[in-house]
Amino acid sequence: MNYKAVNKETYYRKGVYRHFTEDCKCSVSMTARIDVTDLAAYSKKNGTKFYLNFLFILSKVLNSRDDYKMAYLWQSDELICYDTINPTQYVFHEDTETCTPVYTAYSPDYDEFYRGAEADLEKAKQSREYGLDAANHPNWFDASYISWLSYDSLNIELPDGYLYFLPIVNWGKYREENGRLMMPVTVRLNHAVADGYLIANVFRLLEKEIKSFCG
C-alpha cells in the first residue's frame, strides 16, 4: 500500500473540499444504466464470467484517475491519494443468506486479475464468516453485485460527518431494453472529492472501457 499526501492548499478542488468537509459534509450517489450487450456476448463467447469481467473493468476505471483513489486519514488530518485501489467483492451464501467480503488485489493485467479474483471467490465460498477487515485493507473500495434485481435507484448512507472518500459501487441484473442489455450501476463518492461531473464520468469511462475490452 503506497500513497502520496495531497497538499490541501494547492489541491485543485481546495474550495470545494473545504466546504464539504467543514460546512456541509455529505456524499453523492448516482444511478444510471450502462450498455453491457457487448460484454455479455464477449463473456459467453470466451467462456468467462461476466461478473469478473465487469469487476476488472470497474477496477481499471477507478484506478485511471486520482480523484477516485482519495482517502482521508483522520489520525493526522491528511488528504491522501493511493497509488492503487483494490475491489472488495462479496460471496453470497444461499444456505445462510449471508455474505462474506472478498479482498482481491487489482492488477492491470487481465489474466492475472481474473485468476486471482476467481481464486479469492472460491476460497471465500468455504467460509461463513463476515470477515470484514477494513483496518488491514485501507485502500480497498466496495464493489457489490445485487444479483436479484434490476433496480432503478439505490442509496448508500454513511453517518453524517464521516469523511469516507473511497468509492462504493453497486450494480444489479442487466435487462433487455430496445434490443440492448442495460445494467444499473450506482456510484457513491464523497462530495468533498467528487462532484456530479466526476461521478458521471465513471459511467462514461465504464462504457468506453467495455468497448475497448471487447475489441
The letter for the amino acid at 109 is: D
pLDDT tens digits, residue range 58-74?
A: 999 999 999 999 999 99
* Dihedral sign (CA 105, 64, 61, 193): positive
SS (H, E, C) 7-38: CCCCCCCHHHHHHHHHHCCCEEEEEEEEECHH
Nearest to 163 by CA among 37, 8, 51: 8
The class (CATH top level) of 30-66+83-156+167-190+197-214 is alpha beta
Percent of the chain topping pLDDT 90: 91
Nearest to 160 by CA among 14, 18, 21: 21
- Tell me the pLDDT band of 14, cut-offs 50, 70 and 90: very high
pLDDT tens digits, residue range 170-197?
A: 999 999 999 999 999 999 999 999 999 9
Where are the domains positioned within the chain?
A: 30-66+83-156+167-190+197-214
Is 26's pLDDT higher than 80? yes
Mean pLDDT computed over 13-39: 96
Instruction: Name the grid cell of 64.
Output: 485511471
Long-range contacts (CB closer than 8 Å, 24 or more residues apart) made by 147-151: 147/92, 147/172, 147/173, 148/172, 148/173, 149/173, 150/174, 150/175, 150/183, 150/184, 151/31, 151/184
Question: Are the CB atoms for 6 and 81 separated by under 8 Å?
Answer: yes
pLDDT tens digits, residue range 99-157?
A: 999 999 999 999 999 999 999 999 999 887 888 898 899 999 999 999 999 999 999 88
pLDDT at 131: 84
Is 208's pLDDT higher than 80? yes
Is 161's pLDDT higher than 90? no
pLDDT tens digits, residue range 83-92?
A: 999 999 999 9
Q: Residue 76 burial (CB < 10 Å; 0-12/13-18/19+)?
A: exposed
Strand duo 86-93 + 70-73: pairing: unpaired
DSSP H or E run through 187: strand 180-190
pLDDT at 1: 72
> DSSP letter at 159?
-
Nearest to 56 by CA among 16, 133, 116: 116
Nearest to 104 by CA among 145, 137, 80: 137
